[in-house]
Structure 1
Amino acid sequence: MNATPLKLVLFICVLATLQACQQQRPQTWVFIMAGQSNMAGRGIVEPQDTVTNPRILTIDSLGNVIKAKEPLHFYEPSRVGLDCGLSFAKTLLPQLPENDTIMIIPTAVGGSAMSQWLGDSLYRNVKLLSNFKEKVAIGRQHGEIKAILWHQGESDANEKSIAAYPGKIPQLLSTFRSIVQNDSLPIFMGELGSYSNNNDYWQMVNRAIHEYAATDQNVSVIGTQGLIHKGDSVHFNSEGQREIGKRFANAYRRTVK
């Protein structure tokens, strides 16, 4: 074999080795939690929700990376509770390469309406969209943003807001994707519960979510059938939060190969 083909073979071998190393390099899978109180969490935190795993990370109020345990959200100190984030990560983790990690970043604020997210309103001392941008930037420093987990709509389930709600969904999701710089970013939207005393308007929100998802191949709707409220006909109880976290994770597994 002359020198030129030998060099070519060596080059191909080195390239293949580099590619293999890149494929095996540990990755951090980043997920953004956004919406209002049922994403921020109002369930009771129990001991099982505080067990940490070095492969499941989050951030504290200063943006420092820490091992995740509930409660994850910190924006409303007097209202914090169990959300679905840790359950989501625990369910998804076994499907990832053994050295990869998950980072769950909280941005949800209870009571926030869709228009307040679009308008970057200051709500409960949080500028909603600015805070989202800030948390996306932190996530991108540590890994790749894989999806947004969204649960919101209770604040828009009323006569004043419901007519405009369907048109706001694509606006906000487009804004989210623009911030993340990924036009095909998967977004998972949770239904409102079926237990509301305001069920007609809540189901209007759910129909709007489903109708939009039918037009966007990168949006999935997470069903809430069978989930129970905590006694207020608004917020999922602890069991419901853990279950919907599993549903978000299983939907992600089904739709993202």
Structure 2
Amino acid sequence: MSGRGGVHMLPNGTKKWDGIVPQEAEAPSGSVLRWTANNTWEDAREPLHWDIDVGKACGIGPGLLFAACLLRTGAAHRIGLVPCAVGGTEMDRWLPGADLYEQMVRRTESALRAAPGVAALRALLWYQGESDADTEERADELPGKFASMVAALRARLGAPQLPVLQVAVTCHNMTVSPLAERVRVGQLSARLPALSTVDAEGLQLAADGLHLTTAAQVELGTRLANAATVLGASRG
């Protein structure tokens, strides 16, 4: 979810974003805001997670593209994004009581309190699963853990019908994620209230066979925006 579009391996073995921002991610100043790691609102810019997912090279992800698409279609007029993703993490770290779950809740609550004007929590965008695709046990347990996380988060934030937009993973590098297809099938089979699952299968992958290219992130952001409109998550 934090995005690796445009991230390339350098000759010295380090990874770096190429700095190319797709035109589709551009939005008028003040129309898309992001909640920073320092708990302030600012104009959103790519990479959206640059100060959140600090352990890796962040590039283009679907979040800002999702928001910009909603603006272009008139489905929303001003959007605040609360980036929380940390790449390469297992679902266990996103369960109630775990570090990343609690950080996500704290950031969401503080962002809502500090939001300009009247703000409402509209949706959760979720793109995770490759890190649980290395053992049968974790792959099989992922759907149940995801459902538990969604239920707990809705209760904690007082939003029992919070729309959730989930991405079903795709991965052709079976050495990296040998059970990715098993995870994907479980995600596509999820049946939760106010849940829409967008399938990433077929989107272009980078050379690592795991992460989406910038062009693929553009398409994914559009698919998520369309799903949000159908689900009613973009109203207001």
Scaled to the shorter chain, the TM-score interval is 0.7 to 0.9
What's the CA shift for 1:47?
A: 3.7
Describe the superposition over 1:155-177 as per-residue Cα deviations: whole angstroms up to 9, x where unpaired: 11122412322221211111221
Counterpart check, 1:61 vs 2:37: yes
Q: Tell me what 1:171 maps to.
A: 148
Given candidates 79, 102, 122, the residue that maps to 2:79 is 102
Q: Tell me what 2:217 maps to.
A: 241
Q: Which residue identity does 2:95 align to in structure 1?
A: L
Describe the superposition over 1:13-47 as per-residue Cα deviations: whole angstroms up to 9, x where unpaired: xxxxxxxxxxxxxxxxxxxxxxxxxx011112414
Checking the alignment, whether the CA contact within 8 Å between 1:149 and 1:189 is kept in structure 2 is yes
Q: Tell me what 1:201 maps to.
A: 179
Using the alignment, how far apart are the partners of 1:56 and 1:146 within structure 2?
Answer: 14
Q: Tell me what 1:191 maps to.
A: 168
Using the alignment, how far apart are the partners of 2:32 and 2:145 within structure 1?
Answer: 33
Local SS of the residue matching 2:69? helix
Identity %: 26
Q: Which 5+ residue runs of structure 1 have no aligned equivalent?
A: 1-38, 122-126
**CA-atom RMSD, angstroms?**
2.1
What's the CA shift for 1:225?
A: 3.1
Using the alignment, how far apart are the partners of 2:160 and 2:134 within structure 1?
Answer: 31
Largest Rg, 1 or 2: 1
CA distance change for structure 1 residues 211 and 93 in 2, over 3 Å: closer, same or farther? same
Q: Tell me what 2:231 maps to.
A: 255
What's the CA shift for 1:105?
A: 1.1
- Number of positions where the alignment pairs a residue of Structure 1 with one of Structure 2: 211
Checking the alignment, whether the CA contact within 8 Å between 2:53 and 2:85 is kept in structure 1 is no
Q: Tell me what 2:4 maps to.
A: 42
Query: Any runs of at least 4 consecutive aligned residues in structure 1 with deviations exceeding 3 A, and if so which?
Result: 47-52, 94-98
Describe the superposition over 1:40-88 as per-residue Cα deviations: whole angstroms up to 9, x where unpaired: 1111241446745221111222011111110011223342111111110
What's the CA shift for 1:137?
A: 0.9
Q: Which residue identity does 1:202 align to in structure 2?
A: A
Using the alignment, how far apart are the partners of 2:75 and 2:130 within structure 1?
Answer: 37
Counterpart check, 1:136 vs 2:108: yes
Q: TM-score of the superposition, structure 2-length normalised?
A: 0.82
Checking the alignment, whether the CA contact within 8 Å between 2:166 and 2:198 is kept in structure 1 is yes
Q: TM-score of the superposition, structure 1-length normalised?
A: 0.75
